[in-house]
A and B are shown apart, each in its own frame.
Chain A
Amino acid sequence: MALSCLTRALRSLTVSQNTLLSSQCELGALVSTTVAQCRGFLTTASLEQNKTLWKQREKYTIKPIGMKKTGGRDHTGRIRTHGIGGGHKQRYRWIDFQRLHYEEGKEGKPFEEKVVEVRYDPCRSADIALVAGGSRKRWIIATENMQAGDTIKTSAVIGRMAVLANEGDAHPLGALPVGTLVNNLEIQPGKGSEYIRAAGTSGVLLRKVNGTAIVQLPSKQQVQVHETCIVTVGRVSNIDHNKEIIGKAGRNRWFGVRPSSGLWQRKGGWAGRKIKPLPAMKNYVNLPSITAQ
């Protein structure tokens, strides 16, 4: 008798296609049937969230993509970051951070692009520019004086003499004269820019040292990167962004910033002005060390 119960239980644990039909039934109908002596299993289909499905697009497009707001919640559903939620609906415009992105079939040659329009981007502080070159269009971060109708140049050539850089053009660090203001800095060549993208920011090219270049970031931190990393010349657009006055709590809510807790909390050692020496220069170039055998 125990054996028959066990076999019945084990038999019921097999999964078959009939379960798909049962998942369509009313949940209430299931409750009314009698209870059997076997462990249950889930008859619904796999429960997948599509929280980040909007990000999974592979093909580049200039069409704005509808975004799902997270509200500061992570995949478990709990708040990971406080103070995020609500705000105006936003659509994501896919920015091509790899400025040196050759078109199909035209690799290796410096190319020019025409700026079609410069517009506000709800997802970042800087303005973005739609540029068209060859047969493709893409969004890039706009620089300070970029206007519709301008022509911007992108090249990967490092000549012996430094290039007279125009604002908005993109060159490798090794080709630019020392002291130029740069933005959209690539740390590893070809990876795409990850630094100096916020509104009004700019880095300074300090020195060029055999095959590497040292750039000062807006936080006064210095980084040493390979000289073939592409940067854009000039300051990022929307330079008065830091002078903007929010004015009222409501405007912050439109930006999706929720109020912080009003509880007065004693500030600890983290608060207050700190005067300390600059951190050491960060080196992102994989130079072979002398001690390596």
Chain B
Amino acid sequence: MFPETSRCVTAALSPFSKTAVLKELRRFFAHGGVCRLQPRRHFGVSRRLTAKVPPPRKPRERVPIPGLEMIDYGERMHYVPGLAKPVNPDWEKDFKDPRYYKSPPPDKMPLSKEKPCYVFNQRSSLLEGVPQALCLTKTKLIPGLPPQLLSAVENPANQIPDQDERVQNAIKHARFWDTTEERPDKTKYSNTLLNNLMHLCATLQSSHPAIGRRMLAEKCSLAATWKRGEDLFQIRGQNSLLHSCMDPLPVVSGKEEVAETADHVMQSLYPVSPTIDLQKIYVYKEEMNNTGFRDDYPYPHVHTLYILDGDDTNFSLRREQFRAKILMFAFGNALARAHKLYGTQPQHVLDCPITVQAVGTNGRIFQFLVFQLNTTDFSGDDGIKNQAWLDEDAELYDFAKVRPLIKKKQVKVPAGLAGYKPEIFNKFLAMYLHGAV
């Protein structure tokens, strides 16, 4: 067929100017013309090829009339005018071939359910931010970190020798020295900075042996399910960096404070529903709870979650949405652990509240969070609530510029590290040493 068709094309070209048709076709391919499997027949040779093509006519719809049987020409094996076109049943292979497998539509999948489930994943950006996350997790927010955490660092025995200088070196390494180009990417320098700061904190292991009973894990997956009011929620995703410990974190607030949270009134998000910006799915596994580790993992208790902005997504969240993400993932880890310890039935009060810490950073600004899970009963807005201590927008340094910012021949911001704040690293160290002091 090949040589014949090519001969036929040249015959088409010869009657009138070859160049005109070739030009049209070439221009057409440059545009990237859409290819269909069946080429369109072209008998006329003197019309524009790039005119609008009328859309393909849909075949006539067959309407089955009950009681009437369509006589088709299938048995006669040739077309007979007047008889109907035979309809052949869809043929499917009797074995499952992975090369030609088409998944069923969502409503026919085996796990599909009638009630939807709202999923929070790493890419979710909640519209209302932290208030929406508090509403979903039935939490009371306390601004500022708990004082007993910060008091631990004031003791000079808990500080690193040459702390300021070493931290500034760590920042300079992450922002200036770690690249062959002019400046490193944000994801790269935030990652390097976090690793450097954690390494600095870990140098205290000689004086604090409890630090040795911890383990770091990257990108472990998390799944937790809970029912808030009428709706089912799930949190699914991967934690950026998980610091887990052999011993659980000490409880931050005592039983009286926990009981006092019952009087706290949750903020209403009306007219926005708490399910906004969450992924709504109808195909899910109920009771999906997974800490990411097996039962015999030697470091089962989650100590701190380190979340980097833009690490697992190719976009970075705004600060409010980032804080909400940290809160949700801390809650998810705590809830998965609670479900494992106490079972999936809602517990009004946990005997031993589970404490989880979280640190989020975008390379310069840190968000510190301590989350305490007091209850797994999320049916109403009353009763004991969970607690979260949040320290927002802690800037470790103001500027780390490769080239100085000069406006009207005056240096506004010099090159190098500017505006370093040592107290932010103290908070970081405090959160690291919590439980090991």
On whether the two chains bind one another, the answer is yes
> Residues of A at under 8 Å CB distance from B?
12-13, 15-23, 25, 27, 29-31, 33-50, 75-77, 111-114, 116, 132-137, 151
Task: Taking A34-B10, A43-B39, A111-B271 as given, write out 16 further A-B residue pairs in contact, using a Cβ cutoff of 8 Å, ordered by the A residue number.
Answer: A15-B38, A16-B1, A20-B35, A25-B6, A27-B26, A34-B7, A35-B10, A39-B43, A41-B43, A42-B39, A43-B6, A46-B33, A46-B39, A49-B50, A112-B270, A132-B271
Name the A residues within 8 Å of B270 (CB-CB).
112
Q: Assess whether A45 is in contact with B11, with CB atoms less than 8 Å apart.
A: no
Q: Assess whether B37 is in contact with A20, with CB atoms less than 8 Å apart.
A: yes
- Tell me which of A21, A34, A134 contacts B271 (CB under 8 A): A134
With A and B bound together, what is the CA distance between A42 and B5 in angstroms?
A: 9
Residue of B nearest to A19 (CB): B39
Name the A residues within 8 Å of B37 (CB-CB).
17, 20
Whether B14 sits at the interface, judged by CB under 8 Å, is yes
Name the A residues within 8 Å of B9 (CB-CB).
22, 30, 40-43
Supposing A15-B38, A19-B39, A31-B18 touch, asked if A46 and B12 sit within 8 A by C-beta, the answer is no
With A and B bound together, what is the CA distance between A108 and B201 in angstroms?
A: 59
Can you list the 6 inter-chain pairs with the closest CB atoms, starting with the nearest? Answer: A40-B12, A42-B42, A45-B35, A36-B7, A112-B271, A75-B52
Name the B residues within 8 Å of A29 (CB-CB).
6
Name the B residues within 8 Å of A36 (CB-CB).
4, 7-8, 10-11
Q: Assess whether B39 is in contact with A31, with CB atoms less than 8 Å apart.
A: no
With A and B bound together, what is the CA distance between A136 and B273 in angstroms?
A: 9
Q: Which residues 5-42 of B sit at the A interface, judged by CB distance below 8 A?
A: 5-14, 18, 22, 25-26, 28-29, 31, 33-42
Name the B residues within 8 Å of A16 (CB-CB).
1
Most chain A beta-carbon contacts within 10 A, residue among B8, B45, B52: B8
> Shortest distance in angstroms between B3's beta carbon and chain A's nearest beta carbon?
7
Whether B276 sits at the interface, judged by CB under 8 Å, is yes
Q: Assess whether B5 is in contact with A47, with CB atoms less than 8 Å apart.
A: no
Chain B: interface residue count, which band? 35 or more
- Tell me which of B8, B38, B51, B278 contacts A41 (CB under 8 A): B8
Name the A residues within 8 Å of B42 (CB-CB).
40-42
Supposing A31-B13, A35-B14, A42-B39 touch, asked if A22 and B6 sit within 8 A by C-beta, the answer is yes
With A and B bound together, what is the CA distance between A19 and B51 in angstroms?
A: 21
Q: Assess whether B52 is in contact with A76, with CB atoms less than 8 Å apart.
A: yes
Residue of A nearest to B7 (CB): A36
Q: Assess whether B280 is in contact with A135, with CB atoms less than 8 Å apart.
A: yes
With A and B bound together, what is the CA distance between A154 and B276 in angstroms?
A: 19
Q: Assess whether B41 is in contact with A134, with CB atoms less than 8 Å apart.
A: no
> Shortest distance in angstroms between B362's beta carbon and chain A's nearest beta carbon?
22
Supposing A30-B13, A35-B14 touch, asked if A47 and B49 sit within 8 A by C-beta, the answer is yes
Whether B210 sits at the interface, judged by CB under 8 Å, is no
Give 28 pairs: A residue, B residue, CB < 8 Å, sorted on A.
Answer: A16-B1, A18-B5, A22-B2, A22-B9, A23-B35, A31-B10, A31-B13, A31-B22, A33-B3, A35-B11, A36-B4, A38-B8, A39-B11, A40-B11, A42-B40, A42-B42, A43-B39, A45-B34, A45-B36, A46-B33, A46-B34, A46-B40, A48-B53, A49-B31, A76-B52, A132-B271, A133-B271, A137-B276
Name the B residues within 8 Å of A38 (CB-CB).
7-8, 11
Q: Assess whether B273 is in contact with A134, with CB atoms less than 8 Å apart.
A: yes
Name the A residues within 8 Å of B372 (CB-CB).
none
Q: Assess whether A44 is in contact with B12, with CB atoms less than 8 Å apart.
A: no
With A and B bound together, what is the CA distance between A22 and B270 in angstroms?
A: 62
Q: Assess whether B39 is in contact with A134, with CB atoms less than 8 Å apart.
A: no
Q: Assess whether A41 is in contact with B12, with CB atoms less than 8 Å apart.
A: yes
Whether B272 sits at the interface, judged by CB under 8 Å, is yes
